[in-house]
Amino acid sequence: MNWRFWKREQKQAPSSYIRTMIMRNSASWTAFDFFAFATEGYAQNPTVRACVRAIATACADLPITVVDDQGNIKDKAKILQQLKRPNSKQTYQQLITEIVTNRLISGEGAIYNLGVGSQLELMALRPDWLSIVETEMGYPKTWVYSASDAGMSAMRIPDEMLCKWFEYNPVGRYRGLSLLSSCAHAIDTLNSYASSNKAVLDNGVTPSGVLSTATELSDTSFGRLQTQFSDKYAGAKNNGKPMILEGGLSWQQTGMSPREMEYINGKRANELDVCKVLGVPPQIVGIEGSQTFANYEQARASFYEDTVIPLMNSLLSDLQRYIDPQNTSGGSLCVEVDKVTALEPRRAERMKTVDGVNSLTINEKRGMIGKQSVDEGDVILVQSSMIPLDLAGADPVSSTGN
């Protein structure tokens, strides 16, 4: 297969379809493009990195199967065997992790099959290297995949040959909308918090202060004073050193402003905004103040039910339509929920509830928990200790109340 263009040293190119820069209160906010989100959002922000990694890893580890219209599992379907080795360079888990990560960062998880015939060679496409070059009746007709505008060989892809697993974008119908665009302010604020914290550390982990003197310093004395402070008192390595002053100099320490004292609360609020947008409970990524053993189990189950499984089922649906458009497998490719270990507490609780209902037959109960019916299961079982009131030796209450 032709993987040559994938191995080459390619020049980084920002997205060409969204170049919006938000300016607010003199702060410079991140540009809404893949390269900015991948570097300033994903690579430099611990909260975003932890959330994206948690979702992508969970999706890649989910058990998948094919289920027919009657709910029967077809674990030997050909499409499952194909996905076990999606290409010659990656495992199934590696490919799914890359696709999901691209989708979460950019809103686009584009996939292209380089294989010939029935052979699969699925490749995850980097979103900012993919662009529309030809349209027909307002719809994309041809895409081009290239690392730069010139000097590199490009690959032209007909629209029908591209698997477009995109996040819905109400203002850009044929391109995806990044989830990070909804929390860009929180991401930039968190990065600013980290830079500010580093500056405080470099300053000796103490607030700033003012040196004052009643006399005017010469240029030579002023320069010597600056050098002395830089070498002997500034920086984390000089923290705690006593300050020696001369020539009538005095030091006055300045206090921290209320805004600076709200650092911790502001940082946690922005971390929660990121988790909210990405659909990750704060307990999963260990945000301070939310991690307890009592609620972690419920948070993990909610994470899989509300975020991971729906996202993965969406990807599997697009993959099946792309790989097997004629549905030769005779069923739907989906997550095998009964084998997801994170949902075991929920399953145990549900089985206990169903088992306690006395008005259902054995087969009806089995059907509610996803099990097949059994012979002689169309009977209702009740506790032997439960008998009519008149058989217990008590007088039945008359309908007239007498």
Strand blocks (E) in 181-271: 209-212, 250-253
pLDDT band for position 60 (cuts 50, 70, 90): very high
**139-145 and 130-136 strand pairing:** antiparallel
Residue 372 has pLDDT above 90, yes or no: no
Quote the mean pLDDT of the chain: 76
- Hey, what's the torsion of the CAs at 170, 171, 177, 180, to 10 degrees? -110
Give residue 251's pLDDT.
Answer: 60
pLDDT band for position 13 (cuts 50, 70, 90): very low
Determine the Cα–Cα distance for residues 121 and 109; give it in Å rounded to an integer. 16
Helices and strands of the chain, counted as H and E runs:
13, 12
Give residue 243's pLDDT.
Answer: 58
pLDDT band for position 209 (cuts 50, 70, 90): low
The residue among 241 and 6 whose pLDDT is bigger is 241
Determine the Cα–Cα distance for residues 49 and 183; give it in Å rounded to an integer. 14
Match 């975003």 to its residue by tokens: 48
Determine the Cα–Cα distance for residues 351 and 347; give it in Å rounded to an integer. 6
The residue among 232 and 314 whose pLDDT is bigger is 314
Give residue 3's pLDDT.
Answer: 42
Q: What percent of the chain is modeled with pLDDT above 70?
A: 66
Give residue 97's pLDDT.
Answer: 97
List the one residue out of 316, 341, 370, 309 whose CA is nearest residue 77. Answer: 316
**Does the model's pTM come out above 0.75?**
no
Q: What is the pLDDT of residues 98-143, one digit of tens each?
A: 999 999 999 999 999 988 777 889 999 999 888 888 888 888 899 9
